[in-house]
Chain A
Amino acid sequence: MQPVFRYTNLDTPIHRLHPLVKLAYVALTLVLVMYPIRPTDMPVLLIWLGLSAILWTVARIELRRFATLFKILLGTFLFLIIIQGFTYRFGHTPLITIGHLRLWEADLGIITKEGVWFGIVLSIRVLAAASSLPLFVMTTSTSEIMTAMDKLRIPNTATFMFVSALSFTSLIFEMWGSIVEAQKLRAFDIDRMNIFQRAFKAYIPIITPLILLLFRKANDFQIAMETKGFGAPIKPTEIEVLTVRWSDYVWLAFIVGVFILCTVVKFF
């Protein structure tokens, strides 16, 4: 099984985009989602999500990858919507009433319309934040990431830890699948367990071998890297020559422009 957010070697304007511009998009996304949140923020978040959708589309990233991201986050969205539905302190329009349990300003027995809406706004904020880094990872090669990080004066070791973690993700996916299969063969079926069974007992037979295997693989990984001179006190050669083109400025202006628009809509 291949990891969903693996780098795909395509020739698209987003793949060709200077990594620092893509990093700027990631950074601005983080700034935007750090703004104090209000229920009226939906247009702002939708504008930014629209920008992400444009970037994902231009990068020709398959829809299934976005669908996978959405699926991964679905549990979080439901959690946020339900919790906010019950606990939002400015909620006053009941949607579903289960009972009455007042706690400070909220009635925990009622799901309110305003609470559900606020939960949806929070979910969109999470989605906007979570869609930026995969775009960067899926459209930027490891060598480009390393060169870009070097330009930002981030230490080589830290950069390599980041890109190694990306490599390890695919290994973890593969190992997880193999371990689940191996335990099924001994009549241990995690797929048929409910969430509580999984939480209390199911993961031990899966996670224990995974950790032990990861330790072993990490050792081999270290050998492979260090026997290739990794960690030498020498300035590494930049393999990717990153040149700035006019299109990079255009995209940067576009991204910053959308960011300013979002800020204006939010605060004014």
Chain B
Amino acid sequence: MDNHNLVNLQNVTFTYEGDVVALSNLNLTVKKGEFVVVLGANGAGKSTLCYLISGIVPHIYGGRRRGDVQVGDIDPWDEPLYNTAQRCGLLMQDPEVQLFMPTIKAELAFGPANLGIAREEIARRTKEALELVRMNGLEERNPRDLSGGQKQRTALAAVLTMKPKILILDEPTSQLDPLGRWEVGEAIEELKHKGDLAIIMTTHETEEILHLADQVLVLDRGQTVLQGTPAHVFSQVEELDKAGIKTPAMIRAQIKFFSFPNSSKNLPPPIKTSLTITELANEIQTAVMDGKLKVNPSITQAQPNPQSLSTPAEPILEARGLTVEFPGPPTVTALQNIQLTIRRGEFIGIIGQNGSGKSTLVKSFVGLLRPQKGEVLFKGQSIHNLSVGEIARRIGLVLQNPDYQLFTSSCRDEVRFGLQNLGIPDDEIPKLIDEALDLVGLKDEADLFPFRLSFGDRRKLAVAATIALNPEVLIMDEPTTAQDHRGRYQLADLALELHKEKGSTIIMITHDVDLIARYAQRLIVLHAGRILLDGPTAEVFVQIDELKKSFVIPPFATQLAMHLDSIGIPPTIMTLEQLFDYFSPLS
């Protein structure tokens, strides 16, 4: 093996027990200082790759392997896990399961202490790791009291105190809010710039890694479909689409504006992966001035997408002076004097940092939380005068994690459970089950054990169990968390279908601004338990200064449009498709 290659996989095929082929004929080499990004839809084999390199396979999860794997000077297959752990550190998605000590200091010392490292050396490593993740000064804090981003940075620091040469990051930001993602992203960027480690990161967030990656590997059902530099991989838009990968908006914009009718089909277009939005806007403006691009004169006003309600409907849900506090110490005021009216048939997005009160608000809507002050009204009637069953018939809330509710032996029984609780006559139930499963696309899986479904399908099953109760309002709490690109849009499309066909009122909580821009008519931004902004989505997204308070960054297309003001592009554009409509190439 080349001495510089810290990871070397040659023709690796891995099959889990039960003959599930997770990786097939994979080749990968990673050098010191190199940053490799692994992309793929859920189930593509990304985590299996992480487990193979870090020795989790076969020591915790069993299976069969063909081909060669070298990690530093060892093959993790033949070594005990604590040996591999000294060469290769693994940061997982969920920070909660990686933190088990009462203080950050003890957490960081746990790994090296297990290896018998001297106390002074552990103290030195702890200090260095905390400085790198910018957590110094918080040594005595309990990890459980930290924000999501801080928890994940603590978990990262705990991996770094093991002094690995290779760092595996398995979707490290997928469960974090934008601020948490930014914080962890900063730490990862710092590690990349130091250049001491070989870093392998799996993610769905292609925008976040565009400027960091040296090599990109795209997996689809265990097969390598693309591999190479970011410019090479991200220029293959069709292949990426097929694999369920989101092409970064920056790349899509470059391809649309500059490539590229004249470029040879055999050569990748000259994509720039480190371009900033300002630089891209300048290039577009130059292209317009040079006559290479034309602003389409036929469009004079950006049409909001999606359309707002033409005439205001009657209120369906109202929050009047809603204040919710959680007992401490210290007492936490999660919502403060919320005044809000939601009208029948609206499609509303709610965004804001974790802890801003989003989930508290929707849990108050369904009576799971009792406010200290104020009230929630459903069609003018206090929600607390309704029983749990009466609320379930009117307002459906799909929680983030479907696994908190699934307990039966088949998807059919899972949907049946709620219907039986409501006392629906037995002869009506099968029809309602079939309709709900059909709507979410799980009719063929009706008799399967729910835990045999993928995470995305389990979420759909949770939605089916809710919509079978035929609620007038459907609330989805973070349907995009830990979902791949395709899965995110499947659930949003489902909500849109209910909205259009049944006239359901939809409320969607998410951190995905691109998704919300595409679907929501109205956007509510929560910050520190208060409503910071509330209005038509396009109008909210242009209030940059207000959004900054809540660490919300508008969609890429809106940001770009704001920089193209001088050539007549309105800032209320929310999607790239809307923006592209304003331009036409010169014939």
Give a binary string over A178-192; 1 marks a CB under 8 Å from any B CB, 0 the rest.
110111111111001
Q: Tell me the B357-374 residues at the A interface (CB within 8 Å).
A: 363, 366, 368
A237 with B122: in contact, given A9-B103, A187-B389, A192-B388 (CB under 8 Å)?
yes
Most A Cβ at <10 Å: residue of B54, B90, B162, B388:
B388
> Do A170 and B54 have beta carbons less than 8 Å apart?
no
Q: Which of A82-116 contact B (CB under 8 A)?
A: none
| Inter-chain contact B406/A184, CB cutoff 8 Å | no
A222 within 8 A of B: yes
Complex interface: chain B residues within 8 A of A192 (CB): 388
User: How far does the alpha carbon of A171 sit from the alpha carbon of B100 in the complex, in Å?
Assistant: 11
Name the CB-closest residue of A to B158. Answer: A228
User: Does A235 touch B at the CB level, under 8 Å?
Assistant: yes
Q: Which of A21-29, A39-47, A203-211, A251-259 contacts B (4 or more CB under 8 A)?
A: A203-211
The answer to whether residues A239 and B114 also contact, given A179-B404, A185-B397, A229-B85 and a CB cut-off of 8 A, is: no
CB of A65, distance to nearest CB on chain B (Å): 11
A219, A224, A230, A235 interface centre (most CB from chain B within 10 Å): A224
Whether A234 sits at the interface, judged by CB under 8 Å, is: yes
- For the complex, is A197 an interface residue (Cβ under 8 Å from B)? no
With contacts A142-B101, A213-B404, A237-B117 taken as known, whether A228 is within 8 angstroms of B60 at the C-beta atoms is no
22 A-B residue pairs with Cβ-Cβ distance under 8 Å, sorted by A, are A163-B100, A179-B405, A182-B399, A185-B397, A185-B405, A186-B421, A187-B421, A205-B407, A209-B405, A209-B406, A212-B403, A217-B97, A220-B98, A222-B60, A225-B100, A226-B82, A228-B110, A228-B111, A229-B114, A237-B109, A239-B106, A239-B122
**Contact of B489 with A by CB under 8 A:** no
- Determine if A204 and B407 form an interchain contact, defined as CB atoms under 8 angstroms apart: yes
Known: A209-B405, A234-B115. 5 other contacts (CB 8 A): A143-B103, A163-B100, A185-B405, A229-B86, A238-B119
Whether A236 touches B97, Cβ cut-off 8 Å, given contacts A181-B363, A187-B388, A229-B86, is no
A residues engaging B (CB < 8 A)? 2, 6-7, 9, 62, 141-143, 163-164, 167, 170-171, 175, 178-179, 181-189, 192, 204-205, 208-209, 212-213, 216-217, 219-232, 234-239, 241
Give chain B nearest CB distance to A16 CB in angstroms.
14
Is the Cβ of B404 less than 8 Å from the Cβ of A187?
A: no
The complex places the Cα of A205 from the Cα of B465 at a distance, in Å, of 14
Identify which of residues 44-92 in chain B touch chain A, using a CB-to-CB cut-off of 8 Å: 54-56, 59-60, 80-82, 84-86, 89-90, 92
Cross-chain contact B106 with A209 (CB below 8 angstroms): no
Q: Do A237 and B118 have beta carbons less than 8 Å apart?
A: yes
Flag if B119 contacts A239 (CB, 8 Å): yes
Option from B80, B144, B403 in Cβ contact (under 8 Å) with A209: B403
**Is A188 touching B102 in the complex (CB atoms < 8 A)?**
no
Which of the residues B122, B159, B405 comes within 8 Å of A182, measured between beta carbons? Answer: B405
Minimum C-beta distance from A182 to chain B (A): 4
Are A236 and B114 closer than 8 Å at their CB atoms?
A: yes
Query: What is the CB-to-nearest-CB distance from A179 to chain B, in angstroms, rounded to a whole number?
Result: 5
0/1 string, B422-436, CB within 8 A of A gives 1: 100000000000000
Question: Which B126-161 residues have a C-beta within 8 angstroms of A?
Answer: 140, 142, 144, 158-159
The 3 nearest A-B residue pairs measured at CB: A228-B111, A186-B418, A229-B114
Q: How far is the CA of A250 from the CA of B438 in the complex (A)?
A: 72
**In the complex, A170 Cα to B145 Cα: how many Å?**
12
Please name all residues of chain A whose beta carbon is closer than 8 Å to the beta carbon of B368 when the two chains form the complex.
Answer: 181, 184-185
Which chain A residues border B111 with CB–CB below 8 Å? 228-229
Residue pair B422, A187 in contact (C-beta under 8 Å) = yes
Q: Which chain A positions have C-beta within 8 A of B6?
A: none
A224-B97 CB under 8 A given contacts A229-B85, A232-B114, A237-B113: yes
Residues from chain A with Cβ under 8 Å of B96 in the complex: 171
Q: How far is the CB of A265 from chain B (nearest CB, A)?
A: 38
Q: What separation, in Å, do the CA atoms of A171 and B113 have in the docked complex? A: 25
List A contacts of B84 (CB < 8 A). 227
For residue B112, CB closer than 8 A to chain A, the reply is yes
Question: Does B269 touch A at the CB level, under 8 Å?
Answer: no
- Among A171, A227, A237, which residue has the most Cβ atoms of chain B within 10 A? A227
B50 → chain A, closest Cβ, in Å? 10
Q: Are B469 and A186 in contact (CB under 8 A)?
A: yes
Q: Chain A residues near B59: list those with CB within 8 A.
A: 226
Instruction: For B60, list chain A residues within 8 Å (CB).
Output: 219, 222-223, 226
B266 CB → nearest A CB, Å: 44
Q: Is the CB of B100 within 8 A of A227?
A: no
Also in contact, A9 and B329, with CB within 8 A (given A186-B465, A212-B451, A228-B114): no
User: Is the C-beta of B457 less than 8 angstroms from some C-beta in chain A?
Assistant: no
Which residues of B have CB within 8 Å of A171? Answer: 96
* Closest Cβ–Cβ distance, residue A30 to chain B (whole Å): 25
B326, closest chain A residue (CB): A1
Please tell me which one of the listed residues B85, B162, B399, B465 contacts residue A181 in the complex, with CB atoms under 8 A apart.
B399
Given contacts A167-B100, A217-B97, contact A188 B113 (CB under 8 A): no
Contact yes or no, A186 B417, CB < 8 A: yes
Contacts of A219 in B (CB 8 A): 60
Least CB distance, A4 to chain B, in whole angstroms: 12
Q: Is the CB of A209 within 8 A of B407?
A: yes
Chain A residues closer than 8 Å to B396, beta-carbon distance: 185
Contact A227:B405 (CB < 8 A) given known A9-B142, A164-B100: no
State A224–B86 Cα separation when bound (angstroms).
Answer: 14
Instruction: Please determine whether A142 and B85 come into contact, CB atoms closer than 8 angstroms.
Output: no
Contact B92 A224 (CB under 8 A): yes
- Supposing A208-B407, A237-B112 touch, asked if A142 and B465 sit within 8 A by C-beta, the answer is no
Give chain A residues whose Cβ lies under 8 Å from the Cβ of B142: 7, 9
